[in-house]
Amino acid sequence: MPQLLILTLNLLSWIPVFLCRVTTVEEFAVLEGRSLTVPCHYEPQYASYVKYWCSGRMRSFCSILAQTDATLVEDKVSILDDPVQLVFTVTMNDLKVEDSGWYMCGVEIEGIWHADDIAYTYIKVIHGMSIVNSQLTGEEGSSVTAECLYSERYREKKKKWCRSGDWSSCLQTDSEGNYEDTSVAISDDRTGKFTVTLKKLQMRDTGWYLCSTEQAREAVHVLVTPQPTTTAPSVTSPFTSGQAVAHLAPPKPIIKQNVDSHRHILMSLTVCSIMLLVGSAIWARKMWNVHRPYPVQRHDKEARAPLSEQSVDVGDLQNVAGIFRNKDYHNVHIY
């Protein structure tokens, strides 16, 4: 029974490890001479607890560097707790290569039977260079700036900006850490960063470049996009500019319009001519019908023509007179 009680008490000391959690990023890499801030997140029940930051892989042998109750804080390390966001942050300044190693975010749990809740992270301090943004995009005619970070050992070294693959294109800072011409400006603040500004970008500036110092180099890609095209107004008002200048649109071509106009006139004349001919034909036909002789009249003229042309003798006149004396015939037709 006593052995069971001792085992239970030992297990209780690890309950916070399973029920409560502290978390952080597993690994960091930072340039020598620069600063690093590490966020340590915790559960709501730890809002009022003391938090700490220590160096080491095992809690029993961990060397505390900073604590939220301000009982222990080193010069190069600061710690800040935010109970509202449930996170405390640790900032380490002026890191050296020898600062590389394992560190812990910890929440202090009171009582001898309870273990602290902790989270591990590994910090690697390196010397060399890094880039804030390895992809830069700018519009034609504008400017872009590359931020190149370097470790402490390169602080007094000259910095270079080169077009990748063309070492003859390298531009180098002077003894004051500066360089400038009409298209490029380089400035070294001697605190771990130098900036390169490409001015008045042109389309041919698109490509890969290198931030460089001695053997350390980092690549940067620059992409130049064309300017958007805009349509200017056809007329500029004299009231909105100093001079009354009109920007008129170019005249429209009139060759096609002339051809279409001539074609229309020719077609109209053709139609009018056809209508005139048809009208004349109809009028001529009508006039011919009005003035032509009727068939009866033409037959009578042909019948009377022999009488006037032939000689009449006395006997025939008597026969004719006898015919007119006949009362039974009132109308006489001569055939």
- Would residue 101 count as lying in a domain? yes
Which residue range is the domain that position 149 belongs to?
Answer: 129-225
pLDDT over 50 (residue 275): yes
- Would residue 74 count as lying in a domain? yes
Encode pLDDT of 26-74 as tens digits. 999 899 988 999 999 999 999 999 999 999 988 888 899 999 987 666 6
pLDDT for 229 equals 81
- Would residue 282 count as lying in a domain? no
Least confident residue range of 69-78, 224-233, 285-294: 285-294
pLDDT above 70: percentage of residues in the chain: 67
Mean confidence (pLDDT) of the chain: 77
Least confident residue range of 125-129, 169-173, 318-322: 318-322
- Would residue 289 count as lying in a domain? no
pLDDT for 297 equals 52
Mean pLDDT of 160-188: 94
pLDDT over 90 (residue 306): no
pLDDT over 50 (residue 1): no
- Would residue 266 count as lying in a domain? no
- The pLDDT confidence band at residue 324, using thresholds 50, 70 and 90, is very low
- Would residue 60 count as lying in a domain? yes
Query: How many domains is the chain built from?
Result: 2
83/332: higher pLDDT: 83
> Same domain for 62 and 40?
yes
> Same domain for 121 and 194?
no
pLDDT over 90 (residue 83): yes
> Same domain for 148 and 116?
no
pLDDT over 60 (residue 276): yes
Q: Where is the domain boundary, 77, 106, 126?
A: 126
Least confident residue range of 144-153, 170-179, 209-218, 256-265: 256-265
74/253: higher pLDDT: 74
> Same domain for 20 and 95?
yes
Least confident residue range of 54-63, 224-233, 252-261: 252-261
> Same domain for 166 and 80?
no
pLDDT for 260 equals 57
41/230: higher pLDDT: 41
Q: Where is the domain boundary, 173, 201, 225?
A: 225
> Same domain for 137 and 165?
yes
- Would residue 189 count as lying in a domain? yes
pLDDT over 80 (residue 127): yes
pLDDT for 232 equals 56
Least confident residue range of 98-107, 185-194, 298-307: 298-307
> Same domain for 59 and 154?
no
> Same domain for 65 and 153?
no
Encode pLDDT of 113-124 as tens digits. 578 899 999 999
Least confident residue range of 53-62, 89-98, 195-204, 255-264: 255-264
Mean pLDDT of 141-170: 92
3-state secondary structure the chain: CHHHHHHHHHHHCCHHHHHCCEECCCEEEEECCCCEEEEEEECHHHCCCCEEEEECCCHHHCEEEEECCCCCECCCEEEEEECCCCEEEEEECCCCHHHCEEEEEEECCCCCCCCCEEEEEEEEEECCEEECCCEEEEECCCCEEEEEEECHHHCCCCCEEEECCEEEEEEECCCCCEEECCCEEEEECCCCEEEEEECCCCHHHCEEEEEEECCEEEEEEEEEECCCCCCCCCCCCCCCCCCCCCCCCCCCCCHHHHHHHHHHHHHHHHHHHHHHHHHHHHHHHHHHHHHCCCHHHHHHHHHHHHHHHCCCCHHHHHHHHHHHHCCCCCCCCCC
- Would residue 320 count as lying in a domain? no
pLDDT over 60 (residue 307): no
pLDDT for 254 equals 45
> Same domain for 143 and 191?
yes
For the entire predicted model, the pTM comes to 0.54
pLDDT for 263 equals 67
> Same domain for 19 and 60?
yes
pLDDT over 80 (residue 294): no
> Same domain for 117 and 150?
no
> Same domain for 203 and 173?
yes
pLDDT over 90 (residue 203): yes
The CATH number linked to 179 is 2.60.40.10
Q: Where is the domain boundary, 81, 103, 126?
A: 126
